[in-house]
Chains A and B, each alone.
Chain A
Amino acid sequence: MSGTVIHIGAAPAPFAGTALYLDGQTAGLRPAQLRIDEGAGVLVIRATGMTPPRWPLADVRAIPDQADPRRMVLAVTDDPVARLLVEDDETLRLLRARCPNLHRRPKPRGLWRLFLWALAALGAVALIVFLLVPLLANRLAEFLPPEGERALGEATLDQVRHAMDTTGIAPLPLCETGAGQAALAAMTDRLLARADLPYPLQVQVLDHPLINAFALPGGQVVLFRGLIEAAEHPDEIAGVLAHEIGHVAHRDPTRIALRSAGSVGVLGLLFGDFAGGAAVLFLTERLISATYTREAEAGADDYALSLLAEASIDPGALGVFFERLRRDNGETPGVLAHFMDHPATLDRIEKAANAPRPDALRPALDAAQWQALRGICGASPPPG
């Protein structure tokens, strides 16, 4: 850049240029003559009717992102309003050569304040998402009337079915083969023989290969086709179902759904427009592979154990199922994942399996019913 200025003898070539000056005090565009005071390294701006402002060359800045490539707007760091509009090509060339910090960005000010407000914003969001909303959701979940819970569950199931659909045409289909539904109903009835739920339980199967199951508010339990296909014995499905019924009985899904209603808005707020839809998807995903608290999982397992014991179904099948999936897949699918973090629960289940009279146990479904359940999605059941 500075190579364009040719130095002859001891002193640089005398600088002279023209520009328009805005003093930032009155709305007038003043034609100005530019000189450089070489001794002081200062740009002197001469215009009629004012004492010439002196801009140190090192403090002259070009305003960035200007639409006009042939002109330049200059400012000086210690005056927020004064401007120099340079249009003359020769002056532009000389100024570019003589002002060393023309394109240096101003040092940001108020970073400390910004940092404090950033902390405050993070704190407020954390306080709301992790403390206030869960607290309020937990309290409100107990006051939500059963009809309200049912409606919330149905709305959520719709959301899940649309979110998991990849064709973009219709929501993910439910499996509704008559015999299969009858088998599922038989299993549910047997588990619920002595249970006391605030609303009738509705168990459905989603036609999707995921090995998972989840509970929704208002007594809805959803199993995935993949789960049924992965199971080798009806007791394994019964164990998963009993666990989900445990969540329903403790109203865990209602808490999660209310919590996400509060969190969606806050997260959307943080990430701005383009991620608004992504935040909803994220929370739907969270609902499917619902991350309940350790207490909630333990509570659901306790409830499941008592249901299975009442129904004379082997509780140990759940542990066998879990071990096999881990061995075959290398990872554990959603519904059984909590065993991974809390192996103590699994020990407890195995103890329970060994404790009562094993001779009194009956399979959750007979062979014909089990075949029907495996074919609930219409396709021919896979071998095994």
Chain B
Amino acid sequence: MTDGPAGTGDVECVGRRWPLFRLALAASVLTILTLGVYRFWMKSRLRRYYWSSFRVAGSPVEYVGEPLEKLLGFLIAVVFLAFYLGIVNLVLVFASFSLFQTNGVAYLLSFLGVVPLWFYAAYRARRYVLARTRWLGIRFGLAPGAAGYAWRAVGHWLAVILTLGLAWPRMTFWLEKYRTDRTTFGTLTLHQGGNVAMLYQVFVHLMIGVIFSALTIAIALANDNERFLWLLIVFLPWAVYGLVHYRVHAFRRLTDAKSAGGLSLVSRARVVRVARIWLLGGSLALVLPFVVMSLAAYVVISGATTDGAYPSEALRVLLGDVLPGWAIVALGVVLYFGVFVTFGVLRHVFITLPLWRHYGETLTLVGTSTLPRVAQQGRDAFEEAEGIAEALDVGAAI
């Protein structure tokens, strides 16, 4: 890389926990008060915050997606998906009960039917997000190709399942390459270099951890001898470490092998740091909502066990002299959603932002002297936005 174009740009992360906490909390509460409608605004605002927290070579990244276009995309998706989910589910449940006397088959078929759609939606959501992302005033973009992505992803997953996970790095690489090679920055098109082998090199720890854990259990079961199981104390954490190791190093190798024109990236993300964020952040984000939930459960159960009635009735008995009925119902609803909100907000503050910051600050852009040659590309209107993904709950980090 020594003979590449000159100039490097660092990534500075200016996002802080407290402002993000306030933003996420206010937006979550509004989402609940509006029966979920505000979630389109919440997504737009949080993305604006996260994107703008990255200053690459002195210029912030900007997210320009609008809430109303997300709402429109969602409505478009509902019109089409409602037919699928309503009629297909009904027919599947009918067929499953008439032919197999269980609804398990229906759930399975329904799930399998949604899987390709899920990948399709994920690709299209990515297209929307990239089309609404700008840096240095230049738009990113993703070429159409959701159907191709969906069947490739299904094929790769089948291979992963059939090989008991051994084909995972192969899937990681080819799907990343499919997405990257279709990603544009203005007039530049990204290229994913490298190969599958480089990912297998960082897959070793995970493989050792999983294979030895499985062998330990198998031997213990075969010999009906539980004394071997103490070996799991070593192998299970090894497998967990291997998972983080693989995620971080696969990201690094894939990032280092990306290029566009004279630009390339270098990532120095660290496994220990990522593992610490997951460990510390995860426990913080889980413990606090757990406290809220236990309190709520205590109130409900202590009332409910007296006569085995509904929670709402039990609470009525418990607090009936103090509060009117509607206030108690409202209290229950607030507690119920309070747990979800707390968990979501704390996840942003203790997991997503720290990870975002770490991956960002360890990233370097190389070859910035070629940037002035990059020109703008046209706007990708893409009316459906991330509607299908929104409707199907395709999990996105933000």
Interfacial residues of chain A within 124-145, with CB under 8 A of chain B in the complex = 124-125, 128-129, 132-133, 136-137, 140, 143-145
What's the least CB distance linking B279 to chain A, in Å? Answer: 25
A261/B75 contact (C-beta < 8 A), A27-B372, A125-B82, A151-B101 known: no
Chain B 171-214, CB-CB to A under 8 Å as 1, else 0, gives: 00000000000000010000000000000000000000000000
B79's closest neighbor in chain A, by CB? Answer: A124
- CA–CA, A71 and B59, complex, Å: 11
Query: Which of B39, B60, B94 lies at the interface centre, i.e. has the most chain A CB atoms within 10 A of its CB?
Result: B94
Instruction: Determine if A66 is an interface residue (Cβ-Cβ < 8 Å).
Output: yes
Chain B 86-101, CB-CB to A under 8 Å as 1, else 0, gives: 1101110110011101
Instruction: Determine if A29 is an interface residue (Cβ-Cβ < 8 Å).
Output: yes
A143 touches B90 (CB 8 A): no
B94 touches A144 (CB 8 A): yes
Task: Point out the residue from B39, B55, B72, B379 that lies within 8 Å of A272, measured CB to CB.
Answer: B39
A116's closest neighbor in chain B, by CB? Answer: B75
A129 touches B79 (CB 8 A): no
Task: Point out the residue from B58, B97, B340, B391 that lies within 8 Å of A269, measured CB to CB.
Answer: B391
A22 touches B94 (CB 8 A): no
- CA–CA, A122 and B76, complex, Å: 11
Contacts of B136 in A (CB 8 A): 22, 27-29
What's the least CB distance linking A372 to chain B, in Å? Answer: 22
Task: Point out the residue from B90, B97, B103 that lies within 8 Å of A136, measured CB to CB.
Answer: B90
B75 touches A118 (CB 8 A): yes
Task: Point out the residue from B68, B71, B97 that lies within 8 Å of A148, measured CB to CB.
Answer: B97
Contacts of A209 in B (CB 8 A): 307-309
Instruction: Determine if B358 is an interface residue (Cβ-Cβ < 8 Å).
Output: no
Give the A interface residue count (CB, 8 A).
Answer: 75
Task: Point out the residue from A118, A124, A137 that lies within 8 Å of B83, measured CB to CB.
Answer: A124
A264/B89 contact (C-beta < 8 A), A113-B72, A166-B311, A272-B36 known: yes
Q: Interface-forming stretch among B42-50, B146-154, B225-233, B270-278?
A: B42-50
Contacts of A26 in B (CB 8 A): 138, 372, 374-376
What's the least CB distance linking A280 to chain B, in Å? Answer: 13
B28's closest neighbor in chain A, by CB? Answer: A274
B372 touches A65 (CB 8 A): no
A66's closest neighbor in chain B, by CB? Answer: B52
Instruction: Determine if A266 is an interface residue (Cβ-Cβ < 8 Å).
Output: yes
A137 touches B76 (CB 8 A): no
Instruction: Determine if A108 is an interface residue (Cβ-Cβ < 8 Å).
Output: yes
Instruction: Determine if A150 is an interface residue (Cβ-Cβ < 8 Å).
Output: yes
Task: Point out the residue from B49, B58, B79 that lies within 8 Å of A121, measured CB to CB.
Answer: B79
Q: Interface-forming stretch among A80-88, A299-307, A356-364?
A: A80-88
Contacts of B49 in A (CB 8 A): 65-67
- CA–CA, A65 and B398, complex, Å: 15
B376 touches A25 (CB 8 A): yes
A132 touches B86 (CB 8 A): yes
A144's closest neighbor in chain B, by CB? Answer: B98
What's the least CB distance linking B86 to chain A, in Å? Answer: 4
A266/B76 contact (C-beta < 8 A), A85-B59, A144-B97, A152-B103 known: no
B134 touches A81 (CB 8 A): yes
B93 touches A65 (CB 8 A): no
- CA–CA, A56 and B37, complex, Å: 34
Query: Which of B16, B39, B59, B375 lies at the interface centre, i.e. has the most chain A CB atoms within 10 A of its CB?
Result: B59
- CA–CA, A260 and B209, complex, Å: 45
A263 touches B86 (CB 8 A): yes
Task: Point out the residue from B32, B52, B106, B337 that lies within 8 Å of A65, measured CB to CB.
Answer: B52
Q: Interface-forming stretch among B118-126, B245-253, B298-306?
A: B298-306
A167/B79 contact (C-beta < 8 A), A24-B376, A133-B86 known: no
Chain A 256-295, CB-CB to B under 8 Å as 1, else 0, gives: 0011011111101111111110000000000000000000
A68/B14 contact (C-beta < 8 A), A24-B376, A128-B86, A166-B309 known: yes
What's the least CB distance linking B87 to chain A, in Å? Answer: 6
Contacts of A69 in B (CB 8 A): 19
Contacts of B64 in A (CB 8 A): 80
A65/B45 contact (C-beta < 8 A), A147-B101, A151-B101, A266-B86 known: yes
Instruction: Determine if A221 is an interface residue (Cβ-Cβ < 8 Å).
Output: no
What's the least CB distance linking B225 to chain A, in Å? Answer: 34
Contacts of A259 in B (CB 8 A): 90
Contacts of A20 in B (CB 8 A): 58-59
Instruction: Determine if B62 is an interface residue (Cβ-Cβ < 8 Å).
Output: yes
- CA–CA, A85 and B91, complex, Å: 56
Instruction: Determine if B81 is an interface residue (Cβ-Cβ < 8 Å).
Output: yes
- CA–CA, A113 and B46, complex, Å: 26
A143's closest neighbor in chain B, by CB? Answer: B98
- CA–CA, A144 and B103, complex, Å: 13
A258 touches B376 (CB 8 A): no
Contacts of B59 in A (CB 8 A): 20, 22, 29, 85
Task: Point out the residue from A108, A166, A270, A275 that lies within 8 Å of B300, measured CB to CB.
Answer: A166
B86 touches A117 (CB 8 A): no
Contacts of A261 in B (CB 8 A): 89-90, 93-94, 106
Q: Can you offer 18 A-B residue contacts whose CB atoms are under 8 A?
A: A22-B136, A26-B138, A26-B374, A63-B48, A67-B14, A67-B15, A67-B19, A68-B14, A71-B60, A117-B76, A117-B79, A121-B75, A148-B98, A155-B102, A265-B89, A268-B85, A269-B81, A272-B36
Interchain residue pairs A-B with the least CB separation, the first 6: A22-B137, A262-B90, A67-B53, A265-B85, A148-B97, A151-B101
Given contacts A22-B137, A65-B46, A166-B309, 5 further A-B contacts (CB under 8 A): A24-B376, A29-B59, A108-B68, A166-B314, A270-B78
